[in-house]
Amino acid sequence: MTAQPVRRRCGSEDPGRRRTIQSGLRSAIDSATTQLAGAGIDSARYDAEELAAHIAGTERGRLPLVDSPDDTFFDRYHDVVAKRSRRVPLQHLTGTAAFGPLTLSVGPGVFIPRPETESMLEWATAQSLPAAPVIVDVCTGSGALALALSRHWPDARIVGIDDSDAALHFARANSAGTAVELLRADVTVDGVLPELDGQVDLVVSNPPYVPDGTELEPEVLDHDPAHAVFGGPDGMAVIDVVVRLAARWLRPCGWFAVEHDDTTSALTCERLSATGIFDDVVARTDLAGRPRFVTGRRRGANDARRDDAERSDEEEWRRQ
């Protein structure tokens, strides 16, 4: 059922009545905060207020203006707070997740975009690309990166790729009315999407990268799709595939960024460097200072010619 905004009456109002109403709402939020904190939720106060705003059909910052919450409001509020205390993700209860400039539709079956990935978005939008670039978002999930990049480059051709029908359901809803293209494809299949070979200016990816068996919060372990979370014994199974795809799809001097587990930054850098195709390989951190993603530039024709010349000079020097 769609949450309906609580109506406010025009004209004067008894200040004592408003204080009573606000006292009741504040008491409910305080109680919810205690309940959520007891369930091990670090963001208990924020979540309690977000859920109250969701049920009231308003924004969290406007909760002091909410008027006349009735018994139905409190019944619904207590219900969603109970679900959150059982570690159902806040975003599943509100149906939305914030990512950069976007508010995305999310729910069971799609990976919830994380604030950490906004660091990769910030890096990507700082790159100098052609006026109408071609950009590919591998493992697009809800479409978060693809859609945020389309805001920054409105004339770009942007392709989001995923192999999950459930994820693409949300991505299609989120991308309605935009020019973002969505493709269902399994990127682990050899030779996938050859039509992109050498045509792409920027490849970004937030693939499944958590090493198998890692202990995770219940919100992730029980509610995010495992297929979008775990990346094999060392977390590198899909990252290795995406690195090879980026090497194949990118134009000379095109850019690549891939998110990784905070334990596999060095491994990811090694994988890019080992291809012999990327230079300017850099390990980067998120806003909390944790290792989060690696970037690289596909070598250009001039780089190859320079390396050939350097090898020739070295061989000549050795013959002397």
Tell me: do 102 and 82 sit in the same domain: no
| Identity at 46, one-letter amino acid code | Y
Q: Are 108 and 71 found together in one domain? A: no
Torsion angles phi and psi, residue 89, rounded to 5: -55, 140
Number of domains into which the chain is organized:
2
Q: How many Cβ atoms sit within 10 Å of the Cβ of residue 72?
A: 10
β-sheet with 134-138: strand ranges across: 181-184, 157-162, 134-138, 200-205, 250-259, 291-298, 278-285
CA atoms within 13 A on the CB side of 60: 9
107 with 113: CB under 8 angstroms?
no
Residue 211 lies in a domain: yes
Q: Exposed/middle/buried for 1, CB within 10 Å: 0-12, 13-18, 19+?
A: exposed
C-alpha–C-alpha distance, residues 238 and 20, integer Å: 56
Assess if residue 312 is contained within a domain: no
Q: What is the pLDDT along the chain (320 residues), one digit of tens a residue?
A: 334 333 333 344 444 444 544 778 999 999 999 999 999 999 999 999 999 999 999 999 999 888 778 899 999 999 999 999 999 999 999 999 999 999 999 999 999 999 999 999 999 999 999 999 999 999 999 999 999 999 999 999 999 999 999 999 999 999 999 999 999 999 999 999 999 999 999 999 999 999 999 999 999 999 999 999 999 999 999 999 999 999 999 999 999 999 999 999 999 999 999 999 999 999 999 999 999 999 999 998 666 545 554 445 445 533 54
Residues 221 and 291 in one domain: yes
Phi then psi for 247, rounded to 5 degrees? -60, -35
Where a domain ends, among 23, 54, 86?
Answer: 86
Residue 238: which domain range?
96-304
Q: What share of the chain is helix, strand, coil (3-state, %, to 5)?
A: 45, 20, 35
Domain match, 67 and 136 both = no
What CA–CA distances, in Å, run from 126 to 122, 149, 153, 202, 256? Answer: 6, 11, 11, 12, 13
- Find the CATH number of the domain harbouring 68: 1.10.8
For residue 224, is it within any domain? yes
Residue 250 domain flag: yes
Q: 311 in a domain, yes or no?
A: no
Pair 20, 162 in one domain: no
Secondary structure class of 276 (helix, strand, coil): coil
Same domain membership, residue 199 and residue 112:
yes
pLDDT at 314: 41
Based on the domain organization, do 238 and 277 belong to the same domain?
yes
Task: Read off the DSSP letter of residue 312.
Answer: H
Where helices occur in 86-164 by DSSP H, the ranges are 90-94, 118-125, 144-152
314 in a domain, yes or no?
no
What is the model's pLDDT at position 16?
A: 46
Rounded (5°) CA angle 314-317-320: 155
- State whether 41 and 129 are in the same domain: no
Q: Judge whether 7 lies within some domain.
A: no
User: How far is Cα 220 from Cα 215, in angstroms, rounded to an integer?
Assistant: 10
Question: Are 56 and 151 in a shared domain?
Answer: no
Tell me the three state secondary structure of residue 55. Answer: helix
Token digits of residue 144: 């978060």
- Looking at the structure, do residues 107 and 59 belong to the same domain, yes or no? no
Q: Which helix (H) or strand (E) holds 161?
A: strand 157-162
Q: Which of 106, 111, 87 is nearest to 227 (CA)?
A: 111
- Cα–Cα distance, 151 to 175 (Å, whole number): 11
**Amino acid 303: pLDDT:** 63
In sequence order, the 6+-apart residues with CB closer than 8 A to the CB of 2 are none
Please report, for the domain that includes residue 187, its CATH number: 3.40.50.150
Instruction: Give yes or no: residues 154 and 300 share one domain.
Output: yes
| C-alpha span between 39 and 128 (Å, rounded) | 46
Q: What dihedral angle (degrees, nearest 10) is formed by the CA atoms of 188, 193, 198, 204? A: -50
Same domain, 79 and 101: no
Would residue 128 count as lying in a domain?
yes
